[in-house]
């Protein structure tokens, strides 16, 4: 039983130590979530529609160009 608590404590510490910083709108989703914060999910996340992601301000290029650039390494590795 003590081992379970030890593992749970380690998991909690890892979560808390995760880097939290500004969202990179060229690599991350950026849609405002229910907490009022920009989503830090991947640019290709399926949690938000492409239409909503296209409307995010702060990207250096349009969403479709950034998404294509994000997908190219994945496509070549198939």
Q: How far apart are CA 27 and CA 43, in angstroms?
A: 5
Residue whose entry in the numeric block shows the structure tokens 């593992």: 7
pTM, 2 dp:
0.66
Q: What tens digit of pLDDT does each residue of 5-62 get?
A: 555 556 565 555 555 778 999 999 999 999 999 999 999 999 999 999 999 999 999 9
CA dihedral over 32, 36, 26, 59, signed as positive or negative:
positive
What are the tens digits of pLDDT across the range 53-76?
999 999 999 999 999 998 887 777
């Amino acid at each position: 039983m003590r081992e379970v608590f030890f593992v749970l404590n380690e998991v909690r510490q890892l979560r808390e130590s995760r880097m939290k910083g500004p969202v990179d709108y060229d690599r991350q989703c950026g849609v405002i979530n229910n907490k009022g914060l920009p989503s830090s999910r991947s640019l290709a996340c399926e949690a938000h529609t492409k239409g909503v992601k296209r409307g995010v301000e702060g990207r250096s290029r349009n969403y479709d160009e950034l998404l294509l650039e994000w997908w190219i390494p994945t496509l070549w590795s198939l």
